[in-house]
Chain A
Amino acid sequence: MITLTDQSFDPGALLTAFCQGRTETGAVATFTGLARAEQGDTTTLELEAYPGFTEAAIGKIAEEAKARFELHDFHIVHRVGKIMPGEAIVFVATAAAHRRAAFEACDFLMDYLKSRAPFWKKESGPTGERWIEPRAQDHTDIARWETSKS
């Protein structure tokens, strides 16, 4: 499942719901990303998506991850709109028979979301506004999955 929301969410509640009713899933891995204050440099973060296109693009990569890592299920929640420091921006949960696949699929999906998913992110603070684009490290991270097919 893929959810884009302009409301804050509770990662613990999402994890509890995700785990429910699974009798064949041996492993659930999750990642939660929080908005950083950057020592006061960032007072708000604003995330823009392209409605329809963004969900479809994430759906395509999530289905690829599901096949590649033999996932039983996944849940991706991503915030859009204004976000305050300390709030959760992204939540990824993956379910698989065993832990390695769940960990790797979660890692893969986050690398994709950081550098390829159709979101645009602007930080605002006392020194003004700036658009955040993927760092060199983000490109290195996603490239790992292109060379090491597991």
Chain B
Amino acid sequence: MARVLLFGRLSDIAGWRSRDIDSASLGALRDLLSGEDAGLGEALAAPGVQIALDQAIVRGDAVLSARSEVAFLPPMSGG
């Protein structure tokens, strides 16, 4: 089970912040989330949304293990 985290507007759209989900890869996880919730799928694919796997930014697909932490990060703004 990978731990999936949503930040910022993504958690408002989905209605959850953290879930444990069984998935073999990032691509499969995206497909699963989009299949469950088309609005979330669209928001995850929006420009500027980055993915952190085990707290490091990744681009493209990646294999997930049972202990992976996947975070979807919309555009960031502090200060």
Contacts and interface: CB of A to CB of B under 8 A. Distances in A.
B77 A121 contact: yes
Nearest to A109: B79
A147 B6 CA distance: 33
Nearest to B71: A50
Interface in B41-55: 48, 52, 55
Interface string A80-118: 000000000110000000000000000000100111111
A90 B78 CA distance: 8
Given A120-B9, A120-B74, A131-B8, A113 B79 contact: yes
Given A50-B52, A53-B55, A89 B79 contact: yes
A48 interface: yes
A132 B8 CA distance: 9
Contacts, number: 61
Per DSSP, chain B at the interface is loop
A2 to B, nearest CB: 12
Interface string A13-48: 000000000000000000001000000000000011
Contacts of B79: 33, 89-90, 110, 113-114, 117
Contacts of A90: 78-79
Given A50-B5, A120-B7, A120-B9, A134 B55 contact: no
A131 B73 CA distance: 13
A82 to B, nearest CB: 15
A115 B71 contact: no
A121 B12 CA distance: 12
B55 to A, nearest CB: 5
Interface of A: 33, 47-48, 50, 52-53, 56, 78, 89-90, 110, 113-122, 129, 131-134, 138
17 contacts: A33-B79, A50-B5, A50-B7, A90-B78, A113-B78, A114-B79, A115-B76, A115-B77, A116-B76, A118-B73, A118-B78, A120-B8, A120-B77, A122-B8, A131-B12, A132-B77, A134-B76
